[in-house]
Structure 1
Amino acid sequence: MCNSKEQTMMRIHAACLLLGGLAATTIAAPTASAAPDCSPAGVQNTVNSATGSARQYLDAHPDANAAVTDAFTRPRPEASATLRTYFTAHPQEYYDLRGILAPIGDTERQCNTTALSPELESAYHEFMAG
């Protein structure tokens, strides 16, 4: 049985998987930043920070949280359609969550590593691609 933190992380990752079909474009401005901590602990800290921030965001946006929670209980095609409908109607929330989760991909690229399990990694990249 999963604890509450694991269930929340699974919901966030499920949202990433299910939102993969949502078309979105963003323009990322270059930023100056220090080299990331590429140690296993540093990469895990990035994942924990991003998923923690996503959890806080969903807690502060009850409608988005309800959509993600509901989708988590549905078969993938139905959940995907439900989330696509929700986030199409609320694009700022999609962009916000995408921005919150972006540090995971940034760290993966800069450290030439994989930060998530294979199924979550695939879902993450599908979600981030829009």
Structure 2
Amino acid sequence: MTGSAQQYLATHPGANQVVMAAYGQPRGEAASNIRNYFTAHPNEYYDLRGILAPIGDTERQCNVTALPPHLESAYHEFMAG
């Protein structure tokens, strides 16, 4: 996770809680919990999406994968909305 994303989550305890809890949950449950939280808090979704967007930009521009596989799929699912 980027430093900016960590700073954002530190000031948004609800978002931080759901994201940190997702690390220990089965993938489907984690995806559902994150989706439900950010659907209910769209401003936080768009804030965090904007913070994380440069990861995808870098991957496309440099033709690289910037994240480990387990985070890569979560990242793309989050960015897709």
Q: TM-score, normalised by structure 2?
A: 0.82
User: Which whole-Å deviations, capped at 9, do the CAs of 1:14-53 have from their partners, x for residues lacking one?
Assistant: xxxxxxxxxxxxxxxxxxxxxxxxxxxxxxxxxxxxx110
RMSD: 1.7
The one-letter code sitting in structure 2 at the alignment partner of 1:70 is A
2:48 corresponds to 1:94: no
2:68 pairs with one of 95, 117, 122: 117
Count of residues paired in the alignment: 81
State the shift of 1:80 in Å.
Answer: 2.1
Change (3 A) 1:66 1:119: closer
Provide structure 1 residue ranges, at least 5 long, that are not aligned to the other structure: 1-8, 10-50
Alpha-carbon deviations, 1:66-115, whole Å to 9, x = none?
12122323222222222221111101111111110100111111222222
1:46-85 matches, cutoff 5 A = 51-85=2-36
- Determine which structure has the larger helix proportion and give its number: 2
C-alpha distance in structure 2 between counterparts of 1:98 and 1:60, whole Å: 16
Cα distance in 2 for partners of 1:119, 1:75 equals 12
Higher relative contact order (CA 8 A, sep 6+): 1
| 5+ residue gaps, structure 2 | none
Question: Once structures 1 and 2 are overlaid, which stretch shifts more, 51-60 or 78-87?
Answer: 78-87
Moved beyond 3 Å, runs of 4+? none
Which aligned pairs between 1:25-44 and structure 2 lie closer than 5 A?
none
